[in-house]
Structure 1
Amino acid sequence: MPLTFPEPLRPGDTIGVTAPSSGVEDDLRPRLDHAVAVLRDRGFEVVLGECLGTPSHVSAPRRARADELMSLLVDPDVVAVVPPWGGETATDLLTLLDFDVLAACDPSWLVGFSDLSTLMLPITLRSGWATLHGWNLMDTPYEPAPGLLHWLDVAMAEPGATLTQRAATHCRSSGWDDYRADPTVSRMSLTDPTRWSVLGQDGPAGHDPVDVSGRLIGGCLDTLTHLAGTPYGDVRAFGMEHAQEGLIVYLEAASANPFEVDRILHGMTYAGWFDHANAVVIGRTPVPDAPGFTHHEAVADALGELGIPVVLDGDFGHQQPCSAFVNGALARLVVDGDRQEITQTLP
């Protein structure tokens, strides 16, 4: 499947908002309204869908959610679709999305992370659309951490742009800001030192320099594990298509403990996710280590014999701050002493 990249987002363009997984509770609606206002202040038109509330754990029945998402994605006047956040069961939409229709349309930016990975990965693999991982609508008011990019920075970049994001120096210890108490919060509380490391090295990263390139692909391993080995998560085939460049696979755990992470990564290995990988990047996780078994040990057990660099504690996922990655973009990963960065090149 050839990869296609959306046109740059420009002031005056229309952004669609729908919740294909969890909706927004009434007392969190002020945060959504503020995020929409931030986009409108940047000069964008914003269209709100009907599937945004919380009648249950999802925003609406599956057919309504699928139809609204498809309608926004194929609308030539909608240049980006940015859901408020993820959820739990976006997987129920996959049989209702027409990937062939999407493949025949000009792509728009689909932006998100967490359960939205469940939709973004198949759309990249089966429809050839580059999708934008790392931020949701509710995160949009935040200023990016130093060295990282806002999703708007990426979506508005010109064709041929080279976008470099450098490792964060600090992260949030746990949890999220209280949007009920302060729906307009725009600065992340980053208090804990953080640094990338490379599996198999003692001490800070940089003993053995890493400098590899490949197509970015990945997301939330808690949800993507259920797609591995299915037609919706055939990363092995994607790797074969791009074998000349290879892949950089990035994965992060939202709620999986180290034992679950170990099992998931083994399953992805069996499904061929890393057959054509030049490197794997594992994001930080808010989940505590288990007694006698850490997250790093889980990764080492599952991926330690791949024979490729495995970078730990990357800046993406469910612990702020987050990078903005384009699934399908050609990227270069460098970890060499104090130089710790990922550079994406947009065609």
Structure 2
Amino acid sequence: MIRYPLLNEPVKIGVTAPSSGLHLEQHSLLEEAVYRMKGKGYEFLIGQTCWTQYKMKSAQATVRAEELNQMLRDDTVQLIYPPWGGELLIEILEHIDFDNIKPKWILGYSDISSLLLAITLKTGIATAHGPNLIDMRGQASDPTTAMWEKVLFTKKGEEITQYPSEMYQLRWQHDYVTDWVYHLTEPTKWKTIKNTPILIKGRLLGGCIDVIRHLIGTPFGDVGQFQQKYINNDPIIWYFENCELSVPDLRRSLVQMKLAGWFENCSGILFGRSAANETVNDYHILDVYMELAEELNVPIAYDIDCGHMPPQLTFINGAYAEVRVYNNNGTMVKQLFK
């Protein structure tokens, strides 16, 4: 059975950097985000790893893991919210005390999704794939991003429905500051293979495919055991976002997942938007999606609100979901905490 963390106001947020921290010139980004969140009534415990960054990581693996372990054991911390992702979170997984994790929300994306998926697979505790804490530094959030709060305040037995954004961000413009942080300029349209409407039901799992693929074959990526132990063999809806993989590398990664059994009892797959999906020779991203759909005989939707081309929905790993995508973009993701 999936265990869903419960938020009770006032919410105390633990901020730690299990992947990348911030260089000195970036400290103001976190300080502003914390200031905005405190204005909404949140309390904070900020770890030392947030303020350092050296050789692609905030600190050595054991230091990062110990700070995270302390917050995972701390009864006063209800939500762990890293500042952002990075590259080398996988180094800390072997040092995490999975046996003593107390159910609490962990929210983030990019490299953080390695931690999220590993915790849900090993413990059955639901985790949240959504916007970074740094992205909370604006005066306001767009409606899609802002849904993270409603989603995390959902209680066991309740349901929450999210809809596609109206516009999305095509490129990052850090030197151009807006109230919403993001620069939403392009119309959002979720799509399906062959443009056919789909309805997918199952348990959500996923994250940034660049990093979660490296859990395959490790003690932190046992999808089969998770299905048997925690979700009574319910089908899985996978959601993926591609940060930097070339189209053929994405294809190789998906084939590896298939060969490792990750797609057994899969009811459908959702792919986020990606700036990395450039055609290589004559091999197109749609070729990848269509090949996978044919091999697995499951519906596939793509260009959904997930990943490094914000805004993005907040997906709960382990939650039961119903995903509808229509030709006219009348789409939704309904998550049930059961």
- Shared fold, TM over 0.5: yes
- The equivalent of 1:344 in structure 2 is 335
| Conservation of the 8 A alpha-carbon contact between 1:257 and 1:295 | no
- The equivalent of 1:75 in structure 2 is 74
Q: Deviations over 1:273-318 (max 9, x none)?
A: 1111111101111214133222222232344321111111111111
Q: Secondary structure at the match of 2:27?
A: helix
Structure 2 counterpart of 1:119, from 110, 115, 119 = 115
The 5-angstrom pairing of residues 64-213 of structure 1 reads 64-102=63-101, 105=102, 107-142=103-138, 143-146=140-143, 149-178=146-175, 182=177, 185-199=179-193, 201=194, 205=195, 207=196, 209-213=197-201
Deviation of residue 58 (structure 1)? 0.7
The 5-angstrom pairing of residues 213-224 of structure 1 reads 213-224=201-212
The 5-angstrom pairing of residues 1-347 of structure 1 reads 2-10=1-9, 12-52=10-50, 53-102=52-101, 105=102, 107-142=103-138, 143-146=140-143, 149-178=146-175, 182=177, 185-199=179-193, 201=194, 205=195, 207=196, 209-241=197-229, 242=231, 244-291=233-280, 292-338=282-328, 339-347=330-338
| Conservation of the 8 A alpha-carbon contact between 1:144 and 1:150 | no
Q: Which moved more, 1:89-98 or 1:160-169?
A: 160-169
In structure 1, runs of 5+ residues without a counterpart are none
Deviation of residue 243 (structure 1)? 5.2
Q: Secondary structure at the match of 1:150?
A: helix
Q: Secondary structure at the match of 1:239?
A: helix
CA shift in 2, pair 1:212/1:294, >3 Å: same
- Output the CA distance in 2 between the equivalents of 1:337 and 1:257: 28
- Output the CA distance in 1 between the equivalents of 2:113 and 2:238: 13
Deviation of residue 231 (structure 1)? 1.7
Q: Deviations over 1:97-122 (max 9, x none)?
A: 121122xx3x1111110000111111
| Conservation of the 8 A alpha-carbon contact between 2:202 and 2:321 | yes
Q: Secondary structure at the match of 1:31?
A: helix
Q: Secondary structure at the match of 1:304?
A: helix
Give the TM-score of the pair, scaled to structure 2. 0.93
Q: Secondary structure at the match of 2:219?
A: coil
Q: Secondary structure at the match of 2:239?
A: strand
Q: Letter of the aligned partner of 1:217 in structure 2? A: L
| Conservation of the 8 A alpha-carbon contact between 1:215 and 1:247 | yes
Deviation of residue 245 (structure 1)? 2.9
| Conservation of the 8 A alpha-carbon contact between 2:131 and 2:145 | no
Please report the RMSD computed on the Cα atoms of aligned residues, expressed in angstroms: 1.9
Q: Letter of the aligned partner of 2:120 in structure 1? A: T
Q: Which moved more, 1:147-156 or 1:59-68?
A: 147-156
Deviation of residue 196 (structure 1)? 1.2
| Conservation of the 8 A alpha-carbon contact between 1:239 and 1:275 | no
Give the TM-score of the pair, scaled to structure 1. 0.90
Deviation of residue 157 (structure 1)? 2.7
Q: Deviations over 1:38-76 (max 9, x none)?
A: 111111111110111113311111111000001001100
- Output the CA distance in 2 between the equivalents of 1:159 and 1:37: 30
CA shift in 2, pair 1:176/1:132, >3 Å: farther
| Conservation of the 8 A alpha-carbon contact between 2:12 and 2:45 | yes
Deviation of residue 159 (structure 1)? 3.7
Matched positions, count: 333
- Output the CA distance in 2 between the equivalents of 1:249 and 1:236: 14
In structure 2, runs of 5+ residues without a counterpart are none
Q: Secondary structure at the match of 1:279?
A: strand
